[in-house]
Structure 1
Amino acid sequence: MVTFHPATGVNVTEFSDHAWQHTANLQQAILTHPFNEELAAGTLAVDRFQFYLAQDSRYLIGFGRALAVAAARAPEPADVAFFAGAAREAVVVERALHEGYFTRFGLGEDDLAAIETSPTCLAYTSFLLATAQSAGYPELLAALLPCFWIYQHVGSDILGRLPDGADNPYRAWIDTYADEDFETAVRTCREAVDRAAASADEATRARMLAAFTRACEYEWLFWDSAYRREPWPTAAFR
């Protein structure tokens, strides 16, 4: 899609389209990462998925806080409602999905507490919270978008590859992110990002692209760290 950029007086591609194209290699690497390939096949080791769930449940708290900041800064009432609702979804609804898997896999509070927050999880949440506190509203939206969009992209890709009637132990996770309502949320977030970019100057758009790209890199790292059950390399020195 092409729009008129008020700052430069030229036609430009929508920011979200450009950002996705800019990170195309990363998006493909996420789809083909062993974590997601094995999740799609239903062969992902339970301990890897457990580690992922523990990290994601902690990440979602930071993500929800960053979304709440976006809601507080949003200039449009509709965006206030969207980001406030997304913050609630992250902390309440998605964590409920995790808790269902915790029960299924027999994970109790003590088991979760024994899984330390990984370096990547801490780094990603710290990046989002630092962006929320120190960057402008357009950059914050650009940093938040990949978590929505990439999960929808991964969930839809996996669902499209599943044979009819396939028995996959991770089907509830897949269905959550391939759901039409989640796709609508992604579209709404993209529209908010594109509106912010359309009225921004080139320096701000460059910072937005950097924030989007870095968040995409953290998404890949998050899958990879879960697959490796990433430890702290300094643990031996404690």
Structure 2
Amino acid sequence: MSKLPAPPADGFCARAWAHTAELQQAIVEHPFNAALTDGSLDRERFAFYIVQDARYLAGFAQALAAAASRAEEAEDAAFLAGAAQGALLEERRLHAGYVEEFGLSDADIAGVDTSPSCLGYTSFLRASALTEPFPVLVAALLPCFWVYQHVGSTILEATGASADHPYHKWIRTYADDEFAAAVLSARQLTDRAAAAADEPMRERMLAAFTRATEYEWLFWNSAWEREEWPTTKWLRP
């Protein structure tokens, strides 16, 4: 992997990462990611994760597109719009791969409920897009970039993700240079937005970043538990 320039060590992103450092470690050490690392993650859990991730990416893309429409700098708007398009393309790729690998039809996938954690996370991002100022919105969007790179890079470092690793494609997707460059752009954009904001706005940004990072943990946990709606038993099919 090539060496990318590092963002400022004293900007908003450095502060936000330090604030959530223990939670970031808990995400890496979560049983889902531990099993992903050693290759023992069962196919049913990974399949559940892939379906939920595809659902999540559609909402993430909507929030990115909203951010792009509100960016004042053309470079930022272009990056966010490109990321929105990339998220939608990834959603379609995941959907197609799930159908092919697990032999499920579109009807089968449609029959899988969106988990409470997935719905909560996407609802948080959509609400942020509708109600929060631009700096808070980009802070809420950043963990999806950054946490995935951190998890992917950590797993790659631990395993090498050789071709015989059952999840090597997933690992390399989030640990490669292209994705690292996108994460760097997202961090630099967020740092610039924070630098131009006042302290109360930066506090709101930190709260949004923290809540999104909490949802990241919940998302991994929901895949490990194959989370269902506890109310389903009282509802007619």
Relative to the length of structure 1, the TM-score reads 0.92
Shift of 1:170: 1.2
Q: Unpaired runs of 5+ in structure 2?
A: 1-5
Give the 5 Å matches for 1:151-162.
151-162=148-159
Q: Verify: 1:189 aligned to 2:186, yes or no.
A: yes
Return structure 1 stretches of 4+ with deviation > 3 angstroms. 163-166
Q: 2:211 is matched with which residue?
A: 214
Q: 1:35 is matched with which residue?
A: 32
Match of 1:46 among 39, 43, 47: 43
Matched to 2:124, the amino acid is F
Distance between the aligned counterparts of 1:164 and 1:226, measured in 2? 21
C-alpha distance after superposition, 1:180-232 (max 9, x if no partner): 00000000000000000001011100000000000000000000001100010
Distance between the aligned counterparts of 2:213 and 2:161, measured in 1? 31
Distance between the aligned counterparts of 2:41 and 2:144, measured in 1? 21
Matched to 1:26, the amino acid is L
Contact 2:16/2:209 (<8 A) preserved:
yes
Q: Verify: 1:24 aligned to 2:24, yes or no.
A: no
Structure 1 residues 93 and 163 mapped into 2: Cα distance closer, same or farther (>3 Å)?
A: closer
Between 1:90-99 and 1:142-151, the stretch displaced more is 90-99
Shift of 1:2: 9.9
Match of 1:204 among 201, 204, 224: 201
Distance between the aligned counterparts of 1:93 and 1:223, measured in 2? 18
Match of 2:135 among 131, 134, 138: 138
Match of 2:234 among 231, 234, 237: 237
Q: Verify: 1:228 aligned to 2:231, yes or no.
A: no
Task: Give the SS at the match of 1:70.
Answer: helix
Q: 2:166 is matched with which residue?
A: 169
Structure 1 residues 163 and 179 mapped into 2: Cα distance closer, same or farther (>3 Å)?
A: closer
Shift of 1:116: 0.6
Q: Unpaired runs of 5+ in structure 1?
A: 4-11
Match of 2:92 among 95, 106, 121: 95
**RMSD, aligned α-carbons:** 1.7
Structure 1 residues 33 and 162 mapped into 2: Cα distance closer, same or farther (>3 Å)?
A: same
Q: 1:149 is matched with which residue?
A: 146
Shift of 1:14: 0.2
Shift of 1:169: 1.6
Task: Give the SS at the match of 1:13.
Answer: coil
Shift of 1:127: 0.2
Q: 2:121 is matched with which residue?
A: 124
Task: Give the SS at the match of 2:104.
Answer: coil
Shift of 1:107: 2.6
Structure 1 residues 59 and 163 mapped into 2: Cα distance closer, same or farther (>3 Å)?
A: closer
Contact 1:97/1:173 (<8 A) preserved:
no
Structure 1 residues 98 and 17 mapped into 2: Cα distance closer, same or farther (>3 Å)?
A: farther
